[in-house]
Structure 1
Amino acid sequence: MAQTTPSTPAAVTVVGAGTMGHGLAVQFARHGASVSLVDHRQSNLDDARAGVDDALGFLESEGWLDDAPAAVGERIDYTLDLPAAAADAALVVESVSEDIDTKEAVFETLAASAPEEAVLATNTSGIPISDVGAAVPDVADRVVGCHWWNPPYLLPTVEVVRGEETSDETVERTAAFVEAVDREPIVVERDVPGFVWNRIQFAVLRECTHLVSEGVASLEDVERAVRDGYALRTAVVGPFETADLAGLDLFRTIAGNLYPHLSDAEDPGPLFEERLAAGRGGVADGAGFHEYDEEPEALLRRRNERVAAVLRALDD
């Protein structure tokens, strides 16, 4: 059986049983924590059980489970009772919808029901941590961002985001909890919109849509340039190391020439609007930027298999 370490939260409460919520439950449970997965709808919890089973089956097929899937699954409890679920938690991770009013209601309940020493984390990808903390001023020092990428049981880095009132102790404890479940914390010292990951992701997406809209290259070729070129290299060297390898003088010169020509658009633009107007909202509709003839689950599993292959190659 997986053993806890001094930094591992023995009891974790995950609020919100959607894609991220059940993935978080899997990651904590596979490293020995007892997890309470909470939602406001029983149907969401039922879907989460199936999602947990799929994730554990995938991890077993990759040889990445120390215990049998059933043993890991037994560490996850599914409940509609948030106050009871939070009562003994060392760490609470909220992963409900990206709506500040909903998150405020959750944190007000947590402030009243979680232990005084519990870390109260939000998995928001964009709402300021300080705004969440402002809803519970008496415990704002224990409110912290803990932003995972999907799927959380595969992708190795987690943003730990400091709000205006977040204490040093809370940041340190959260980073330790992340490390204890085999993830790498990225400490975000300033509570800026989008934190680090999404600012970079959407800066790249903005330039990609700009290139296609301006007729510089086709959507398919821009996709390939990022996926099979830029992203392939950045899987092994980051942007600053890339500049070091090429020479800072060269990169400074290129940056000075190129920056004035990069997109500074303040709205998503026609590539989004045209497709959404045509009912092409993504894989669930069978079409988005691309067309799909497979079920979303099959597409997601293939993506996960590719991510696992990259992770395995990087470990070699």
Structure 2
Amino acid sequence: MTTYRKVAVLGAGTMGHALAIIHALGGCEVRLQDLTGEALDRARALIGGALETLEAAGRCTAAEAEAAQARIECTTSLAEAVKDADLVVEAVVENVEVKRELFAAVDAAAPDHAVIASNTSYLDIFPLVPERRAARTMIVHWYTPPYIIDLVDVVGSEKTERVLLEQMRDFLAGLGKKPILLERFIEGFIANRLQSAMSLEVYKLLDEGYASPEAIDHSIKYGLAARMALMGHFGKADFTGLDMVRRAMANGTYKPPVPRGKSPALEALIAQGRGGVMDGAGFYDYGGRSPVALMAERDRKLLALKDAIETIEQGNGEDNAS
């Protein structure tokens, strides 16, 4: 049974449109809100493309995709989006003042029983929320694309009702996700903190001319990721041998880069208008292909990888049982 019957998703960008898909596929009635009709038109196109990909991969039927799309209503009015919501999902830009203003608007228009769930990646949003909403506010942080990637971080403040956090964890598990419930807030949670540490080294290697973006990506895809996808970090350490891990830790040859707050290579690309997939180019040039086509290709590959990992893990379970 769906815990949250009516869901408002505020922000229809990269994460917002995808979160609308997840909740709609889970049987929720979704109102997707953004400031402009143009943003909502783009979201509709991305939603349609993502559902087609999920259907082609056998992750939903044509009827389920059609029903999910029918459950998503778009609006430019925040008050309309939240007026009878059981769950308000905040997925707007990572800006303190923008979020503060949005939470004030939600407080004024949403019913008292609504749960507020922020998708923030790093910000401590709890001081930004009106006091009377504190007990029913939490962070529910997803990873791109959330309709494929299963990890979800759930954490509240010291004022959040524990039962709501547990209910959210169970709701997400019912959607087929892998939620983790953190005991207290920390910026970036787990996966993003690990990713941030890697980014320090990645941009040092790039900016100081040690390797190209392709070489760095190949090292990750064909080295680190291939093993960690199946074993994680500590499982990989067990196969390495903990004594060897201890020796590597003790030799002190690795010195982490000092955070600089910017990357010359990144700044140069942005100055050229190469902001990533939405602009048709970033570190790589995408040859004029549309964001919808590029995301569909990414999603097909991720789904194939997810299928393979699930098959391998099921096989391991059978081996362990025998």
* Aligned match of 1:143: 137
Tell me whether 1:272 sits opposite 2:266 in the alignment: yes
Of the three residues 185, 188, 205, the one matched with 1:211 is 205
Of the three residues 169, 172, 179, the one matched with 2:163 is 169
Tell me whether 1:189 sits opposite 2:189 in the alignment: no
* Aligned match of 1:293: 287
* Aligned match of 2:80: 84
Describe the shift of the 1:219–1:86 C-alpha distance in structure 2 as closer, same or farther (beyond 3 A).
Answer: closer
CA distance in 1 between partners of 2:273 and 2:84 (Å):
45
List structure 1 runs of 4+ shifted beyond 6 angstroms: none
TM-score normalised to structure 1 length: 0.89
**1:142-190 CA distance string (max 9 Å, x none):** 1111111111111111111223432312322221221221111122333
Q: Secondary structure at the match of 1:150?
A: coil
CA distance in 2 between partners of 1:280 and 1:69 (Å):
33
* Aligned match of 1:107: 103
CA distance in 2 between partners of 1:127 and 1:202 (Å):
14
Give the residue type in structure 2 aligned to 1:195.
F
Q: Secondary structure at the match of 1:19?
A: coil
Cα displacement (A) at 1:23: 0.8
CA distance in 1 between partners of 2:156 and 2:262 (Å):
28
| 8 Å CA contact retained: 2:143, 2:151 | yes
What is the aligned residue count?
A: 309
CA distance in 2 between partners of 1:170 and 1:279 (Å):
43
CA distance in 1 between partners of 2:263 and 2:170 (Å):
41
* Aligned match of 1:72: 68
Q: Where in structure 1 are there 5+ consecutive unaligned residues?
A: none
CA distance in 1 between partners of 2:95 and 2:203 (Å):
27
* Aligned match of 1:124: 120
Describe the shift of the 1:287–1:87 C-alpha distance in structure 2 as closer, same or farther (beyond 3 A).
Answer: closer
* Aligned match of 1:61: 56
CA distance in 1 between partners of 2:39 and 2:212 (Å):
39
CA distance in 1 between partners of 2:272 and 2:58 (Å):
42
Describe the shift of the 1:43–1:220 C-alpha distance in structure 2 as closer, same or farther (beyond 3 A).
Answer: closer
Give the residue type in structure 2 aligned to 1:117.
H
Describe the shift of the 1:292–1:82 C-alpha distance in structure 2 as closer, same or farther (beyond 3 A).
Answer: closer
Cα displacement (A) at 1:220: 2.1
RMSD (CA atoms): 2.1
Q: Where in structure 2 are there 5+ consecutive unaligned residues?
A: 312-322
| 8 Å CA contact retained: 2:50, 2:296 | no
Q: Secondary structure at the match of 1:237?
A: helix
* Aligned match of 2:318: none
Q: Secondary structure at the match of 2:17?
A: helix
Tell me whether 1:307 sits opposite 2:295 in the alignment: no
